[in-house]
Structure 1
């Protein structure tokens, strides 16, 4: 038990020493003009990057990403149709589609799909 404790102390000491050494040897400049700018592509920004954006547009984007990932999960179900038991495949597909429709109904019921209020 004492050997395990000593080894863990040594490992923690060595990892902290390496992190401290890398912090000292790195050539990071926190006052660099390009690093402080909101765009790091080399161009000067034309306007302020802190302008407010539409929260509704952001929520529509998140909804799109969720449904896009769910569509990506449906594609393997199509290719596995001939390789698995038909009853299990049907139950799984039906459950997955029902969950998608429940989520769509909830978003529709909350008014998230209306672009203008």
Structure 2
């Protein structure tokens, strides 16, 4: 079994994985929840490779708009992507119950429209 990274390395990895897009952060948090604090050296290497990407490129991979290619076509990257893309919830996510945080797409609020006087009159 591959070696696990120590607590200090895990803390550095978490810090390195902070992203500018909330959507990416949610996928990253899923990875750490699934690993339950036990990240292998191989997984850490794959995660670092993914974190070198621009936010939009990373999101494209996470949403399966594209697949790893070139330097990213490696076992460690594919393993981490699989964990991040996983639809299954970890025990920690299940414990949060049905009220866990969710990403919800909303449309911009539209101001209320004014009705003319005739709209309300029943003549």
Report the TM-score range of the alignment, normalised by the length of the smaller protein: under 0.3
Higher RCO (CA-CA < 8 Å; seq separation 6+): 2
Q: Which protein is richer in helix relative to its size?
A: 1
